[in-house]
Amino acid sequence: DIQMTQSPSTLSASVGDRVTITCRASQSINNWLAWYQQKPGKAPKFLIYRASILQSGVPSRFSGSGSGTEFTLTISNLQPDDFATYYCQQFYSYYTFGQGTKVEIK
C-alpha cells in the first residue's frame, strides 16, 4: 500500500496569511494526487486534482504543486472560510488519504 504523510498536523495562521501544507507519498505517484477540504460534520470537498488542477468553482487562492513523492497545497491570502482540515489523496494505486492538516485561527 502507498502511504501518504502530511505535515504539519496542525497549522495556526491568520486571515491574509499564505499557508503551505506538504504531502509525501511512500513511493512515486507521478501527479496522481488530489486535495480536499473538510469542515466539521461535513463531507470532504474536492479542491485540486492531478496535483495542480483546480476543480471548477474553487477559488484561485488555492494552488497545488509537486510530482513524484512530494506535493504541496498553498492557500494564499487565507480567508475565514478556509479554516478547516485538508487532506491529500493518492490515485496512483487505488486510493489512500493523508492523515490531515488542520488549519486553525492563530
Partner 1 sequence: QVQLQQSGSGLLKPSQALSLTCAISGDSVSSNSAAWNWIRQSPSRGLEWLGRTYFRSKWQNDYAVSMKGRITIKPDTSKNQFSLQLTSVTLDDTAVYYCSRDFGWGMDVWGKGTPVIVSS
Footprint on this chain of partner 1 (rule: CB under 8 A): 1, 32, 34, 36, 42-46, 48-50, 55, 87, 89, 91, 94-100
Kindly provide the residue ranges of all beta strands, DSSP E only, lying in the chain, ordered along the sequence: 4-7, 10-13, 19-25, 33-38, 45-49, 53-54, 62-67, 70-75, 85-90, 96-97, 101-105
Taking the complex as a whole, how short is the minimal distance between the CB of residue 95 and partner 1, in angstroms? Answer: 4
Nearer to partner 1, 67 or 96 (CB): 96
Q: Which residues contact 52 (CB under 8 A, 6 or more apart)?
A: 31, 63, 64, 65, 66
Nearer to partner 1, 68 or 100 (CB): 100
Taking the complex as a whole, how short is the minimal distance between the CB of residue 63 and partner 1, in angstroms? Answer: 15
At 10, list the grid cell: 496542525
Q: Residues 64, 22: contact at Cβ < 8 Å?
A: no
Taking the complex as a whole, how short is the minimal distance between the CB of residue 7 and partner 1, in angstroms? Answer: 14
Nearer to partner 1, 6 or 78 (CB): 6
Nearer to partner 1, 42 or 106 (CB): 42
